[in-house]
Chain A
Amino acid sequence: MTQHSTGTSITFDRATKTYPGAAAPALDALDLEVEAGELVCLVGPSGGGKTTALQLVNRLVDLTSGDIRIGDRSITDQSAIELRRTIGYAIQQSGLFPHYTVADNIATVPVILGWNKERIRARTAELLELVGLSPVETWLPRYPAQLSGGQQQRVGIARALAADPPVMLMDEPFGALDPITRVAVQDEFLAIHRAVAKTTLFVTHDIDEAIKMADRIAILKPGGKLAQFGTPAEVLSNPADDFVAEFLGAERGLKRLALTTVGEIVTGSSDRVGAGAETAGWPDVEATMTLREALSVVSAAQAEGAIVHAGGSRLGEVSLHDLIAPPTAGEDREGVRA
């Protein structure tokens, strides 16, 4: 594995964009600090300015006022072309070049940067492995038209990572995928993100995707104003206003339960008095299940709790009360991640 550059922070400093001829800004004085290595999801209604915010960073759109810094350096300090070559960019429908093979697509930026053939070849193979397309020989010579949507997105991510940029911008990269493929690619991307720790700004329509992926979520409301910025748990437990609460939906409480696994709150059998009689008829759940999933199992069994297993052995049990009012649900999320 080659050495990966660690991420660099992205700072929005009253970043404002008003498109020519528009009466109101599409993005209104956005203040946002994305820490190095952090994955921040930008969510919000259609037209809320998410894409605008993202494209301001790689200067596909020019700031009307305010500033954006990557590390300590303003994005306007360098040429737009140079800047973009240090930023990974992945979009919906992948934006792969239909006339390039998978190998050539991934090599786009390295070729422009003048890497030698051997280095490009090695990097391409490494990235294909990383995004789960192996054996690489099968995939290298294919054209995008010969790939499924999920495979195209994987190649799109590999291409964005090619020159090892410290910063990744992703605009609804999984928006066009079916739910099952989507979950698979999300999981893969999360694994990659943990391995390479790129600072990632990730736009999505899908609040569940944001809750699953994000270290912190930035919610934009119509008019391009930041409604709330916080960890998924913070946002779900304390929506800043009615707009956020409504945006999170009526199932906000359940969504919060999806942040914690049963394994994190399970109590050992010995802690519970008279455990044997009390737990009769309780269904079995795996420690890796989320509280939300476990609650569903318990509800289906019409029981008062569940027996928790991990790797075939019994860890303990959780009561219905533990499930719906967990002591530590979703707190210390970054601790959980690490």
Chain B
Amino acid sequence: MSDFAPAGDPVIPDYGQASDCVINNGAFCTDWFISQWSTVFWPPLISHIVMVAIAVSIGFVIAFCAGLLAYRKKWLAGPIGIAATFLYTLPPLALFQLLVPFTGLSLLTVEIALVCFTLVIIFQAVLVGLSGVPDDVRRAATGMGLDRNQLLFKVELPLALPSIVSGVRIATVLTVSIATIAAFVVDDGLGSPIIKAVSSPFNTQFIGAGALAVLLAFALDGLLVLLGRVLTPWTKARS
């Protein structure tokens, strides 16, 4: 979607039969938003959610395994951390540009880039969570005869959960935001109506889609907070 229209007079949809708000390109026309919901907003919202879900899931699996590996083999923590940080520092648009020659203007290109940005956050969260398990707890567990895997699955990972969940929260919110620029590569996600409306420029469309992205970030964050509470019941047990 690189066909930026030159900024000029706004391109008003349905000119002639639209409401005053739409004709005057008001900041936000509720009637238009509602009437166009099912065609302009709903499909990009769904594809945005799918894009984010895929990226965070894959990013989680990779970063989680890398985190476990770095925890078990301490010398790997440095190199993995540097590699993940490097991917994180790449400007997203530049990364798209780099990938397109290989993977084309495809969802694959988008997902590869998005996954890259989640890695360092989740990796660090896993590592910090595991390293934060109190020594006396680990010593007691080992002293009672838990083997390495029992120690990991019964003690270390559960205690690392709060940190891991907060890492996934940050990664998710970040991905919701970065995924809007995926519209430069594919006609998917909330970035698509935003880019079209910015170049038009038609206010209701980009404000509506932008607001949806913000709300989506809050909603996913809230869901993850709830998930975290369910997974870590002991953290709210304070007498």
Q: What residues make up the interface of A, taking CB atoms closer than 8 Å to B?
A: 55, 58, 60, 81-85, 87, 89, 91-100, 108-109, 112, 142-143, 145-147, 156, 159-160, 169
Q: When the two chains form the complex, which single residue of B136, B155, B238 contacts A93, counting CB atoms closer than 8 Å?
A: B136
Q: When the two chains form the complex, which single residue of B137, B143, B155 contacts A89, counting CB atoms closer than 8 Å?
A: B143
B124 smallest CB distance to A (angstroms): 21
Distance in angstroms between the alpha carbons of A97 and B144 in the assembled complex: 12
Distance in angstroms between the alpha carbons of A284 and B113 in the assembled complex: 86
Residues of B within 8 A of A145 (CB): 234, 237-239
Within 8 A of A (CB), among B190-217: none
A18 smallest CB distance to B (angstroms): 21
B184 smallest CB distance to A (angstroms): 44
> Is the pair B144, A89 in contact by a Cβ cutoff of 8 Å?
yes
Within 8 A of A (CB), among B209-239: 232, 234, 237-239
Residues of A within 8 A of B6 (CB): none
B8 at the interface (CB under 8 A from A): no
Residue of chain B at shortest CB distance from A159? B144
**Given contacts A99-B159, A109-B145, A112-B146, is CB(A91)–CB(B139) below 8 Å?**
yes
Residue of chain A at shortest CB distance from B159? A99
Residues of B within 8 A of A160 (CB): 144
B199 smallest CB distance to A (angstroms): 52
Residues of A within 8 A of B146 (CB): 81, 108, 112
> Is the pair A95, B137 in contact by a Cβ cutoff of 8 Å?
yes
Q: Would you list 30 pairs from A and B whose C-beta atoms are within 8 A, ordered by A residue?
A: A55-B143, A58-B143, A60-B139, A81-B145, A81-B147, A84-B142, A84-B143, A84-B145, A91-B139, A91-B143, A93-B136, A95-B136, A95-B137, A95-B140, A96-B140, A97-B140, A97-B154, A97-B159, A98-B159, A99-B158, A99-B232, A100-B234, A109-B144, A112-B146, A145-B239, A146-B237, A146-B238, A147-B239, A156-B140, A169-B143
> Is the pair B145, A97 in contact by a Cβ cutoff of 8 Å?
no
Residue of chain A at shortest CB distance from B141? A97
> Is the pair A60, B143 in contact by a Cβ cutoff of 8 Å?
yes
Distance in angstroms between the alpha carbons of A46 and B161 in the assembled complex: 35
Q: What residues make up the interface of B, taking CB atoms closer than 8 Å to A?
A: 136-137, 139-147, 150, 154-155, 158-159, 232, 234, 237-239
Residues of A within 8 A of B150 (CB): 112
**Given contacts A91-B139, A91-B140, is CB(A97)–CB(B155) below 8 Å?**
yes
Q: How many interface contacts (CB-CB < 8 Å) are there between A and B?
A: 76
A326 smallest CB distance to B (angstroms): 41
Residue of chain B at shortest CB distance from A105? B140
A104 smallest CB distance to B (angstroms): 10
Q: When the two chains form the complex, which single residue of A84, A92, A98 contacts B144, counting CB atoms closer than 8 Å?
A: A84
> Is the pair B234, A143 in contact by a Cβ cutoff of 8 Å?
yes
Residues of A within 8 A of B158 (CB): 99
Question: Which of B142, B158, B232 has the most chain A CB atoms closer than 10 A to its own CB?
Answer: B142
B214 smallest CB distance to A (angstroms): 34
Residue of chain A at shortest CB distance from B135? A95
> Is the pair A98, B140 in contact by a Cβ cutoff of 8 Å?
no
Question: Which of A82, A92, A100 has the most chain B CB atoms closer than 10 A to its own CB?
Answer: A100
Residues of B within 8 A of A143 (CB): 234, 237
Q: Which 10 A-B pairs have the closest CB atoms?
A: A95-B140, A84-B145, A85-B145, A89-B143, A143-B237, A146-B239, A95-B136, A143-B234, A99-B234, A99-B158
A156 smallest CB distance to B (angstroms): 8
Distance in angstroms between the alpha carbons of A40 and B88 in the assembled complex: 57
Distance in angstroms between the alpha carbons of A100 and B154 in the assembled complex: 9
A33 smallest CB distance to B (angstroms): 23
Distance in angstroms between the alpha carbons of A288 and B154 in the assembled complex: 47
**Given contacts A85-B144, A99-B158, is CB(A91)–CB(B136) below 8 Å?**
yes
Distance in angstroms between the alpha carbons of A169 and B232 in the assembled complex: 31
Residue of chain A at shortest CB distance from B231? A99
Residues of B within 8 A of A58 (CB): 143
Question: Which of A92, A99, A112, A145 has the most chain B CB atoms closer than 10 A to its own CB?
Answer: A99
Residues of A within 8 A of B232 (CB): 99
A89-B140, A147-B239 known, 15 other contacts, Cβ within 8 Å: A60-B142, A81-B145, A89-B144, A91-B140, A92-B136, A94-B140, A95-B136, A95-B143, A97-B141, A97-B155, A99-B155, A108-B154, A109-B145, A145-B238, A156-B140
Residues of B within 8 A of A99 (CB): 155, 158-159, 232, 234
Residue of chain B at shortest CB distance from A89? B143
A249 smallest CB distance to B (angstroms): 29
**Given contacts A81-B145, A108-B144, is CB(A95)–CB(B234) below 8 Å?**
no
Residues of A within 8 A of B145 (CB): 81-85, 109, 112
